[in-house]
Each structure stands twice: as structure tokens, then as C-alpha cells.
Amino acid sequence: MSEGNRLSQNAHRYLDGEPHGELPEAERVQTDRLLEAVRAYGESLPALDETLDDAVLAAVRHRRPARRRTGWRWLMEPREVRMRPIWAPLAAAAAVVLLWVGTRGPLGPEAPALTPTVAADTVFVRFELMAPNARDVWLAGSFNDWRAEQLPLAAGAGGVWSTTLALPLGEHQYQFVVDGERWIPDPTAHAQVDDGFGGTNSVIVVGPKGVVRS
């Protein structure tokens, strides 16, 4: 290599088989010696299988391009983009709507939580009902969208039905559902409020220290 670095531009062109100018005698000898060395090296290599080219091409044809890389190339490579001018304001409008919806949420900022909470903190609250003759007892309230058959109470000794629920801090309204049809309030709750349907909802206010009822 060091020898090649000292060659003139004409000598390089000569070695590359390109048109070149007149070479000094010494340089021509040197370049001829290099060409002879290259030719000898090539002849010393083992002959390749004639089917190798076909095999490589077949393998390349069956190799699927990586999708991510293709997509990324599609995005990054400069290319000519042609579009109707009308799409520009439409795209801008879509971006504005996207930002607006993203900050507003599906129901808008006025959409409240019925069970307000001060934090993500939750407290386990135990619910009990004395119902010795009940076949089953369920708990339904603002914390489960009043689904009557989602939170069952377990029967215990003495006809006491109970369950323990993790509730977020804040106010919760609820009722017990006995035998799937009777909605009854919890007499131990913090408050009883008119539910607007002729019944009474029980209210507990869950604080960090839990719930104390009578």
C-alpha cells in the first residue's frame, strides 16, 4: 500500500484501466509489477462453484425486508410529495381538533366523577348487614354504577352478611340488594338521603383513617 501511495495520478488511472497520460519508465515498471501481483493473487484463489451466484440471488429474493426499517426509510428518504392545496388546511384543522379533544376528554371538562376523591388512595371498608332470612345479599352503589349483582356479600354466623371493599377517599352512596329485589339502606351509614325514587340511599364519607359507623 505504501508503494501505491507514492504513485502519480496517471499511474492510478493506469492501474484502474482508465485513460491515462504518459508514465515515466520507473513508474510503469512499478505499476506493471503491481498488476502482475494482483493477477497472481487472483489465480491463487480457489475456483468458485458455478451455482453460487444463483444460490445467493435466490436467497436474497426470498428474504423479506424488515417492515420497520422500510417504513422508516420511506419517512426519512427525500422524495417528491404532490398533494392538492386543499389538504393543507384540512390537515391543520385535524391537528387542532386532535389537540382540543386530547385536552378535553371524551365527555368534556364538565364530566365529573360521581364519587369524588382527593387522591388515588383507597381504604378497605367493611359492609355488614344482618339479614338472617336472606338467600343472597349484594352491594350496589355509586362506586359500581349501581350494578345490583356485581358485589356479593358473604353469609356469616348469626345471619350477618358482609364484604370488604377498597374504596377511594370521598363520599359514596349505596344500598344493599336482598334476594335480587329488595333495596334497603344501611342503618349504620353516616347519613341517609332521599334517592329521588322513593327510596333511601346510605352515605358514607371515607377518610384516610377508614370508616366508623354505629
Partner 1 sequence: MKSIGGLLTLVLLCLAPHALTAQEGVRAQLEARGLPAELVGDVVALAADAAAQGVPTEPIANKAIEGWAKRVPPQRITAAVRQFYTRMVQAQIAVRASGVADPPGELLASAAEAMGRGFTQEHVGAVVEAAPEPAAAGHGLSVATALQAQGLGPDRAVEIVTGAMHRGQPVAEILDMPSLARAMQARGLSPGQVGEQLMLGGGGMQGAHGRPPGSQPREGQRGERGPRRP
Question: What are the grid coordinates assigned to 47, written together?
Answer: 475456483
Among 17, 46, 108, 132, binds partner 1 (CB under 8 A): 108
Paired with 61 in beta bridges are none
**Residue 46 binds partner 1 (CB under 8 A):** no
**Residue 122 binds partner 1 (CB under 8 A):** yes
- C-beta neighbour count of 13 within 10 angstroms: 15
Among 33, 98, 152, 159, binds partner 1 (CB under 8 A): 98
CB 137 to partner 1: min, Å:
15
CB 125 to partner 1: min, Å:
6
**Residue 184 binds partner 1 (CB under 8 A):** no
Among 10, 11, 183, 185, binds partner 1 (CB under 8 A): 183
CA-based R_g, the chain, Å: 42
**Residue 200 binds partner 1 (CB under 8 A):** no
Paired with 177 in beta bridges are 138, 183
CB 78 to partner 1: min, Å:
16
DSSP state at residue 77? S
- Residues 14, 36: Cα–Cα separation, whole Å: 13
- Helix H or strand E encompassing 165: strand 160-168
DSSP state at residue 157? G
**Residue 56 binds partner 1 (CB under 8 A):** no
Q: Which is nearer to partner 1, 19 or 106 (CB)?
A: 106
CB 120 to partner 1: min, Å:
10
**Residue 63 binds partner 1 (CB under 8 A):** no
**Residue 71 binds partner 1 (CB under 8 A):** no
Compute the CA torsion angle 37, 38, 43, 44 (nearest 10 deg): 70
The dihedral of CA 160, 166, 171, 175: what is its sign?
Answer: negative
> Of 162, 205, 198, whose CA–CA distance to 183 is shortest?
198
Interacting residues with partner 1 (CB under 8 A): 81-84, 87, 90-91, 94, 97-98, 101, 106-108, 110-114, 116, 118-119, 121-128, 140, 142, 145-148, 164, 166, 169-171, 175, 181, 183, 188, 190-199, 203-214
